[in-house]
Amino acid sequence: MIKEKSPYCQCLYYASNALARNISRLAEEEFAITGLPPSYAFLVMTVNNQPGISAGELAEIMMLKPSTVTRLVEKMEEKELLKRMKEKRSTLVFPTKKSVELQETIKAAWKSLFERYVKILGEEQAAVLTGQVYNAAVRLEEK
């Protein structure tokens, strides 16, 4: 059921923030089984999939600023889920045994999140919306 329209429904800023709040709530519920917030879980999953990834590459994949990635990686180091190694002029990020053991749980949470929003939106609308939001984010990031 569609709620009565907000006076701001034609504003991308307003609509995207409302979407972000709602999808974040679903993600936090599904990723609770990992013991990590969703953003940390995606970071760990990325490093598990690409051991030795540079911090810069990680920032690009995660669509975050390098300083943000540094803070996230530091927090994951404290939890013994990631480790950093300096190599010449770059920092490489590696998984730990603990993060590798968590990988299947993270993937299960991601799958549950996907299934949950597909059930609400429908598979086609979910795919179209995801593509549109991603493309818009990339274009706006380029300014």
pLDDT in tens, 28-77: 999 999 999 999 999 999 999 999 999 999 999 999 999 999 999 999 99
Q: Does domain 12-142 have CATH number 1.10.10.10?
A: yes
pLDDT at 2: 57
pLDDT of 141 > 90? The answer is no
**Cα atoms in the Cβ-side hemisphere of radius 13 Å centred on 35:** 9
Q: Name all contacts of 134-140 with Cβ < 8 Å and 24+ positions apart.
A: 136/12, 137/63
pLDDT of 13 > 60? The answer is yes
Per the DSSP assignment, residues forming a β-bridge with 87 are 90
Q: What is the mean pLDDT of residues 115-123?
A: 98
Rounded to an integer, what distance in angstroms lies between the CA atom of residue 56 and that of residue 115?
A: 31
pLDDT at 10: 86
pLDDT at 1: 47
Given a contact cutoff of 8 angstroms between Cβ atoms, the answer to whether 33 and 103 are in contact is no
Cα separations in angstroms, 6 against 1, 2, 31: 14, 11, 30
Taking the model in full, what pTM does it have? 0.89
The order of strands in the sheet holding 82-87 is 53-54, 90-95, 82-87
> Would strands 82-87 and 90-95 be described as parallel, antiparallel, or unpaired?
antiparallel
